[in-house]
Every structure is written in structure tokens, then in C-alpha cells.
Structure 1
Amino acid sequence: MSDEEPQQTEWETEVGLSEETTYVAIYPSRKHAEQWMEEAEEQGYGSRSKYLYELIQEARAARQEGFLAYSQNESKVEELQLQVEQLQDELEDARNSEPGEIDIEHEEFVTAFLTDRYQEFESILKDVTGSGVLTGIVKDAVEEQLFDLAEEDKVEYKQGYGWRLAHDDADTEAVEA
């Protein structure tokens, strides 16, 4: 670029461009060109050229403020992609869990029992166990384990009496109340 003032070409004079205006060509795909034209019309621009000029100026300003340089933001994009994958995994886990099942390892479970005041661990634990929230979790785990043990003939169940350790001796039918 030189320090000399650019001279207006005959073509620019012919179409009525001001001396401050010049012609710049870009070669987008037809799809993008059509999309830009639609956007320009939707937003009330008189021409696609004016619309693109303003978009470019906005993007330049954003880049100067550090909002746009893709090469600088690649690590942020990768970080966000990992976060999205983790959230998708959590969503899948939630979909596969039983209705009403509570994940006690999730931070929201624990923070629900905290306040803006300091609390000793024992106090928090007392609040958690006293809330009844764990009852369903413990009940389901114990019940599942009992049925698994029954399938392996390690425990027995008798209607009206409940569960007990299985006896090897079939003659022993002592049922304790």
C-alpha cells in the first residue's frame, strides 16, 4: 500500500460511487451468497454489499477486542466440546436410571443440605440421613442384593416371616420370629 491517495477509476465514477468508496470482489459459494442476500433483505439492508460491509466491520471490532480469533479459541472450543460430551454422558446416565433415583455423588445432592453458615460434617450427615432421601436408595440396594443372594441360594425368603440366611440342612425349619 502506498501513501498516495487512490484515484477513483472510470468505472467507479460511472456507477456513482463516492471518492471514498471502492470495489472489492469476494467469491463465496452460491449457497452463502444466497443466504447473505436473504439475511440482508430480512434485516432491511438495501444491498448485500452494505450488509456484508457491516458484518465485516463488526467482526473486525470483535476480533480486536479478543472475541473472535479462532486460532486462539481452539483450546476453548475443545474444552467446551469435552464439557458437552460429559453432559451428554450425564444425560444418558439419567435416562438409564430408575425414576426418582437420586445420585448421591452429584454435587446438587450435597449442596441441598448446606446453608450459608458453617456446619460440621456430623451435622450435615445427620441432616442427610434424617431427610429420608437415602431410604429409597438403601432400600433398592438391599432389596436387589437380597434377591441376588436368593438366586445363589445364600438366603431364603418365607411369606409372612421374611428373610434369613440359607441353611444347608433341609431338615432345619426353625423359624425365628
Structure 2
Amino acid sequence: MSDEEPQQTEWEDEVGLSEETTYVALYPSRKHAEEWMEEAEEQGYGSRSKYLYELIQEARAARQEGFLAYSQNESKVEELQLKVEQLQDDLEDARNSEPGEIDIEHEEFVTTFLTDRYQEFETILKDVTGSGVLTGIVKDAVEEQLFDLAEEGKVEYKQGYGWRLAHDDADAEVVEA
């Protein structure tokens, strides 16, 4: 590179760029260009160029501080991508599971009930069930099952009394528990 300042081109003069400003061509996909334009408008920028210029300057500053050294952190990025994929799979499995089915696969759940002392399995199970953590899951599953059974005519609900198995006799006496 030369120490000499580059001269402004005729085109730059023609469009009215200041002497400190120059033109740089960028060839993104149409999709990215449209996304950048939408983001620029949402952020209140007058032009996509100004928006991209500020993004580039921010990214350069972040990289200098060590925040964007992607090539140095590729393994961490891959590890996080795998974790995201696993969590998405878990979410999909949970959405597809049968109501009332409780699936405890995450080690964080079980390890919260452990201490630095050895505990019998029954003690751990008692701690898990007594904690109330499962109450919402079980409550929702039981409630959904009761409504499904009511739609099928297998159970009945009466205000003030609760639920019972359905009888053929519609006038059957309500038995209090």
C-alpha cells in the first residue's frame, strides 16, 4: 500500500461522497440483503450502508476484545450446536409423548436431590416425589385424562362432588367419599 491518499473517483464526486468516503461493493445473497434492509429500517437507519457500516465496526471491536474469534472457538460452537439439537429433539419428544407420561432424562433434575452423602434409592425417590416438582406434570396429565374419559362417557363430573366412574343409570345416587 502506498502512503499517498487515494484520489476520489469521478463517480464518487458525481454522487456527492465526501473526500473521506469511498465506495465498497458487497455481493450478499438477495435474502441477506433484504434482511439487512428490513433490520436497517426497524433500527431507524436512513440507509442499509450506514447500518452495515456500524455493524462491521461493532464486530471489529468485539473481535479485538476476543468475543468473535470464531475460528478459535469452532469446537465450542459445534458443541453448543449439538446441545441445541439435543434440546430440540427432547422438546419434540416431550410434545409427542402420551399425556401422563413422565420422562426424566436430564441429569440436572436427579442430581438436585443428591448430596455428598450416600442415600438409599427409596430416600431419593421420597425426596423427588415429596418436593412437589412433579405435581404440575402429574396434575395436568390426570386432569387431561379425566376430561378425555368424560368425553368418552367413562367418567362423570358433578359440581361440588367431583369425579366418579360413569354409571348407566343417570339418576344414580351420589356417593360421598
Please identify, of 156-165 and 78-87, the stretch whose mean Cα deviation from structure 2 is larger: 156-165
Q: 1:165 to 1:92 in 2, by over 3 A?
A: closer
- Structure 1 vs Structure 2: percent identity of aligned residues? 94
Please identify, of 64-73 and 97-106, the stretch whose mean Cα deviation from structure 2 is larger: 97-106
* Aligned partners of 2:157 and 2:164 also within 8 Å: yes
RMSD: 9.1
1:59: Cα distance to partner? 1.5
Q: Which has the higher contact order (CA 8 A, sep 6+)?
A: 2
Please identify, of 131-140 and 151-160, the stretch whose mean Cα deviation from structure 2 is larger: 151-160
- TM-score after normalising by structure 2: 0.53
Q: 1:31 to 1:123 in 2, by over 3 A?
A: closer
Structure 2 Cα separation of the partners of residues 174 and 54 of structure 1: 73
Name the count of aligned residue pairs: 177
Please identify, of 127-136 and 90-99, the stretch whose mean Cα deviation from structure 2 is larger: 127-136
1:38: Cα distance to partner? 2.0
After superposition, give the CA deviation of every residue in 1:64-116 in whole Å (9 maximum; x if it has no partner).
22222332222112111232344356556766878777778854455444679
Q: 1:42 to 1:163 in 2, by over 3 A?
A: closer
Q: 1:173 to 1:120 in 2, by over 3 A?
A: same
* Long gaps (5+) in structure 2: none
Q: 1:165 to 1:47 in 2, by over 3 A?
A: closer
* Long gaps (5+) in structure 1: none
Structure 1 Cα separation of the partners of residues 66 and 60 of structure 2: 10
Structure 1 Cα separation of the partners of residues 46 and 158 of structure 2: 85
Structure 1 Cα separation of the partners of residues 60 and 80 of structure 2: 24
* Aligned partners of 1:103 and 1:109 also within 8 Å: no
Based on CA coordinates, which of the two structures has the bigger radius of gyration? 1
1:3: Cα distance to partner? 0.8
Structure 1 Cα separation of the partners of residues 170 and 11 of structure 2: 108
Match of 1:39 in 2: 39
Q: 1:165 to 1:86 in 2, by over 3 A?
A: same
- TM-score after normalising by structure 1: 0.53
